[in-house]
Amino acid sequence: MKTSLPQNTDRLLPLSSYDRGFAVHSASMADPRFSYSLYVPDSALEADSKPTLIVSVHGTGRDFVPTLHALAPFARRHNCVVLCPLFPAGVRGDRNLHGYKYLLEGDIRYDRVLLDMIDEVAGRYGANFSRFALCGFSGGGHFVHRFLLLHPQLLLACSIGAPGSVTLIDDRRQWWVGTGDIESTFAVKLDLDALRRVPVHMAVGSEDTDTAEITHQPGGRYWMAGANDAGKTRPERLAALKNSFQAQGIDCSLTVMAGAGHDGARYDAEAEAFFSRVLFS
């Protein structure tokens, strides 16, 4: 499996106006079923520039554009490239909305899809994105905490926003509820030492308590024993994830956003503040 370290730092093609600022939305060269958008500040294109990569993963609705625009001023201040992948619903022809959240859907490994995108972008801009910051809200929160479990050595920091379901560090339970079979499922060992080196942030609205969409039912696509054991609501489940991480000595903080429901814009501001604190202070 690739890492995000570019195999060739020569740019794939000469850069144009479409490769800077809000760059043109691009299909992944490794798998054109998937695509991504970038924000690239002028500072990232300067000679000897060493930009930081921030990856933000969309929720179930796939509307990543507001977050991309919200992060642009931050990217200009701190010389960051922002990458927002797009994992379309139903890529296997079955209208499944949720496959990317669990990293594995049939023969698709969504962690590898993202790493291919990062390799491509690193090569295009002549950058070293061997480590990067990762964040995501709702469905994106699903993705990012599970990516963290598989690839902590690649992450500078990780922010997890209001996932509907969580994977606890528990070798007595199977994936996705726990991590007992993570090696046989993904050919990756759980690396607790690497996890302890990643600053982890979590955030959820205090009023984000609607359970209609997040309660797993027998017969559902992602039903398994223990699917609802982490709690009924998003705040309860995120608190369970925090406790699971802290029990393993992982540096983790939880922000409960007072008065907020399922509010992606509020989360974006919290994630930005976290990255400012741990990466650029």
What is each CA distance from 223 to 9, 114, 176, 184, 214, in whole angstroms?
A: 43, 26, 10, 20, 11
Asked whether the beta carbons of 272 and 69 are under 8 A apart, the reply is no
Mean pLDDT of the chain: 95
Average pLDDT over residues 136-162: 98
Give 87-115 as a DSSP string.
--TTTTSS--S-GGGGSEETTEEHHHHHH
pTM of the model: 0.95
| pLDDT beyond 80 at 8 | no
Report which of 40, 54, 22 is spatially closest to residue 274, judged by C-alpha positions: 54
At residue 102, the pLDDT reads 98
At residue 14, the pLDDT reads 75
Average pLDDT over residues 240-267: 98
pLDDT tens digits, one per residue of 42-96 = 999 999 999 999 999 999 999 999 999 999 999 999 999 999 999 999 999 999 9
Helix (H) or strand (E) holding 32: none
What is each CA distance from 208 to 66, 160, 200, 234, 267, in whole angstroms?
A: 20, 15, 21, 6, 12
Helix (H, G, I), strand (E, B), or coil: what is residue 183? helix
Altogether, the residues listed in the chain come to a count of: 281
At residue 13, the pLDDT reads 56
Report which of 22, 37, 35 is spatially closest to residue 76, judged by C-alpha positions: 22
Q: Which residue spans within the chain are E strands per DSSP?
A: 21-22, 26-27, 35-40, 52-57, 80-86, 104-105, 108-109, 132-137, 155-161, 200-205, 252-257
Domains present along the chain, CATH in parentheses: 17-279 (3.40.50.1820)
At residue 5, the pLDDT reads 38
| CA-CA-CA-CA torsion sign (219, 96, 94, 187) | negative
Question: What does the alpha-carbon distance between residue 204 and residue 139 come to, in Å, rounded to a whole number?
Answer: 13
| pLDDT beyond 90 at 140 | yes
At residue 11, the pLDDT reads 45
